[in-house]
Homo-oligomer: A and B are copies of this chain.
Amino acid sequence: MPKRIGVVLSGCGVYDGSEIHEAVITLLALDRDGVDVVMMAPNRDQMHVVNHLNGEPVPGEKRNVLVESARIARGEVRDIATVRVDELDALVLPGGYGAAKNLCDFAVRGAECTVYPKVERLILDMHRAGKWIAALCIAPVVVMKSLTASGIKPTLTIGSDPGTAAELEKMGGKHQVEDVRGVAVDSENRVLSTPAYMLGQRISEVAEGIIRTIDELMKRLEG
Contacts and interface: CB of A to CB of B under 8 A. Distances in A.
A55 interface: yes
Interface residues of A, number: 32
Contact of A12 (B25, B28, B71, B203): B71
A67 interface: yes
A52 B28 contact: no
Given A12-B12, A12-B13, A32-B204, A52 B27 contact: no
Most buried by B among A14, A52, A66, A207: A52
B67 A53 contact: yes
Interface of A: 12-15, 17, 19-21, 24-25, 27-28, 31-32, 51-53, 55, 66-68, 70-75, 77, 202-204, 207
A62 B203 CA distance: 30
Contact of A204 (B31, B203, B207): B31
A35 B156 CA distance: 33
Contacts of A70: 13, 51-53
5 contacts: A12-B20, A24-B25, A24-B203, A51-B70, A52-B67
